[in-house]
Amino acid sequence: MKIVVIGGGACGLKAACRARRRDPEAEITVIDAGRYPSLGRCGLPYYVGGIVNELNDLRRTLAGVVRDVQYFKKIKNIDILTETKVTEIDREKKVVKITKKDGSEDEIPYDYLVLATGAKPIRLNLPNADAEGVVTLFDPEDAEKILDMWDEGILEKAVIIGGGLIGMETAEALSNLDVEVTIVELLDHVLPALLDKEMAMLVQSYLADKGVKILTGSRVTEIIAKDGSVVGVKVDGTKEIEANLVLMAVGVRPNVDLAKACGLEIGETGAIKVNSYLQTSDENIYAGGDCVENIHLITGKPVFIPLGSTANKHGRVIGDNVTGGKSTFPGVIGTTIFKVFDLNVARTGLTEKQAKELGYDVITALCPGPDRAHFMPGQKPIRIKLIADAKTGKLLGAQMVGWGVVDKRIDIVATAIQMGATIDDLANFDLAYAPPYSTAIDTLIHAANVVRNKRDGLYKTISSFEVKDKLDRGEDIVLLDIRSDEEFRKFKKIEDPRLLRIPLEELRENIDKIPRDKEIVIVCQIGSRAYDAQRILEGYGFKDVKVMEGGMAFWFW
């Protein structure tokens, strides 16, 4: 059995290693165009930022051994050809044509071929896009280039084009090097593919506090170069920003050139189309990782969501199937997590925007809270947004931002979505509780209860964006701030003559001070006490009462 794998990344090497475990006799060859097989590209921002000390640390085993060519030959009996380019796949002859690093050409026969060609970064067609100092941080060479510039003392200012995941992580890495960072994002908030606006604004505000400059709704129209090197960028055709480094972080495209050239079917997303066995339109060719499309488990539609976690799962499935197995891969829901400085950010499933575009009757909840019992030292705030289908109660997605623990909570929601759970199921999950780990009713379960209260008509809310619009339009509303005097002094507040301050504990005895003929918007720190106040006012006969959802935790002005 001859198994040839094109691509020495997560999917390719996982497939090769899985195949070896199942078939000790197979001839397995991996062809990689780069110099560093088995390199964890997701760690490159941490290498640039000094958190990971050596490039080889991104390809060490748990035992500390570098997974280089010799490692795979000695331990796995897998041959890896590095710096070798595949020029053609001949499906009739079942051979792969290659050009080696010394320029020589050769052919490698296969019984099964695995395409793990990954993705390639999008490079914008801008003036001077090929100038020295323009990088994508997709390859280790770009990471080394950034660090060389820093070592030479010529890296002081950087512009990141794109406010996505790579942009966020690299902003931290460069800030760790005392580089002045500006992010330019085309849409109206950062992380537009991952988060809804109110959750993204939490990240955006935090980055601004960390000294990262952010320009949203803006486009880099030119890279300014002098003597072949970057000296700045032009934004929206007029504004100039100084920079020694420009990072293009506007996304990636599936690397499907070889697949197209040999006539394999390409899916509607532009990635290689595969079945549940990760088999292409050629039964002897499998594909996985960032070059293929997946099925979204909520919508049932093809999606292109390149993630290292998915690539590794693909590799195992492929390794099984090229050695006689029948493993399948069901699909994805886009679960993603990352950190920027000390802020943890996670999401899974659909955003509210995506769900509405797909025609769902969407119901959501914003729920700030602590990550453990509030009386425990070290407790930290988290912000949760849940998205559900109002008709069926099915969970559709979640987003979490905060300084506390969000990874276990996003994984709970991801599991719940894949199991088809409803918001009522989530509210009654038997989660572990002890004060060092969570609140008695975990903030995630509290968020589920908020959705249920909204669904049942008990909790009536208005977003902070809607409140801001009403104030800007001069609407005659009453902002009822029910926080204590100490909270009002200590935390941010809305400066407006329409603000009426009555602490919650004094609300009943001051009920006559509240106009009954106006819309009442109740404000507290995170929204929970405002719900109590809403129910009190409605009990006294007030008809138009709403809570500013998420409280002052979601006030960005």
Domain 2-118+253-321 matching CATH 3.50.50.60: the answer reads yes
pLDDT digits (tens, 9 = 90+) for 28-44: 999 999 999 999 999 99
pLDDT digits (tens, 9 = 90+) for 123-168: 999 999 999 999 999 999 999 999 999 999 999 999 999 999 999 9
Mean pLDDT, residues 32-59: 96
The 10 Å Cβ neighbour count of residue 142 is 17
Could you tell me the pTM of the whole model? 0.94
Q: Are 334 and 305 in contact (CB under 8 A)?
A: yes
pLDDT digits (tens, 9 = 90+) for 315-345: 999 999 999 999 999 999 999 999 999 999 9
Can you tell me the distance from the alpha carbon of 192 to that of 265, in angstroms, rounded to the nearest whole number? Answer: 30
DSSP H/E element including 386: strand 381-389
| Mean per-residue pLDDT over the chain, rounded | 97
Q: Are 295 and 273 in contact (CB under 8 A)?
A: no
DSSP H/E element including 22: helix 10-22
Q: What is the pLDDT of residue 272?
A: 98
Q: Give me 155's structure tokens.
A: 């890296």
pLDDT class of 426 with cuts at 50, 70, 90: very high
Q: Which residues are catalytic?
A: 42
CATH H-level superfamily of 134-250 = FAD/NAD(P)-binding domain (3.50.50.60)
Shared fold status for 2-118+253-321 and 461-554? no
Q: What is the pLDDT of residue 183?
A: 98
Q: Are 113 and 1 in contact (CB under 8 A)?
A: no
How many CA atoms does the CB half-sphere of 134 hold within 13 Å? 25
Q: Are 25 and 77 in contact (CB under 8 A)?
A: no
Q: Give me 454's structure tokens.
A: 């909204």
CATH, domain range 342-455: 3.50.50.60
pLDDT digits (tens, 9 = 90+) for 502-516: 999 999 999 999 999
Q: Is 499 exposed, middle or buried (0-12, 13-18, 19+ CB in 10 A)?
A: middle
Mean pLDDT, residues 373-396: 97
pLDDT digits (tens, 9 = 90+) for 264-300: 999 999 999 999 999 999 999 999 999 999 999 999 9
Give, to the nearest 10 degrees, the angle between helix 10-22 and helix 69-76: 20
Where are the domains positioned within the chain?
A: 2-118+253-321, 134-250, 342-455, 461-554
Mean pLDDT, residues 492-509: 96
pLDDT class of 545 with cuts at 50, 70, 90: very high
Q: What is the pLDDT of residue 181?
A: 98
Q: What is the pLDDT of residue 245?
A: 98
pLDDT class of 452 with cuts at 50, 70, 90: very high
CATH H-level superfamily of 461-554 = Rhodanese-like domain (3.40.250.10)
Q: What is the pLDDT of residue 428?
A: 98
Q: Rounded to 10 degrees, what is the CA torsion of 528, 532, 535, 539?
A: -170
Q: What is the pLDDT of residue 85?
A: 97
Q: What is the pLDDT of residue 142?
A: 96
Q: What is the pLDDT of residue 504?
A: 97
